[in-house]
Amino acid sequence: MTKAYLNYPNPHMTLHGDSGCAEIGKMGKANQRDVAITRASFTQALAQLTHRGFRLGPDASVNDVWLCVDFGDPEFEEAVARYIHRLLGRRYSRLQGTPIARHC
């Protein structure tokens, strides 16, 4: 599984291939948004993330999201996370061309 952290106020995405990484969820944010993306949920997750009801903004309740991408193929999982980053960049210009870094 790949976990991808997307931050809006400090625009970037960080990829984590080690689900036991101490950096994942280290802030312990209440009501942290997590979106599971699997073979079974792919279409629904894309619809959720691209729907106008899903917001990103500077307020703490909507300033980030964790994508939990699980296809059993790390390269494909990274490609899916990058694709979602591009889709959100079309809606949020602040995210266009922002860095994507692999942490682990």
The residue range of the domain holding 41 is 2-22+29-102
Q: Which residues contact 7 (CB under 8 A, 6 or more apart)?
A: 13, 63, 64
Dist. CA 20–CA 58, nearest whole Å: 28
Question: How many domains does the chain contain in total?
Answer: 1
pLDDT digits (tens, 9 = 90+) for 47-86: 999 888 899 999 999 999 999 999 999 999 999 999 999 9
Q: Nearest to residue 3, comparing CAs of 98, 97, 74?
A: 74
pTM above threshold 0.75: yes
Cα 19 to chain centroid distance, Å, stands at 14
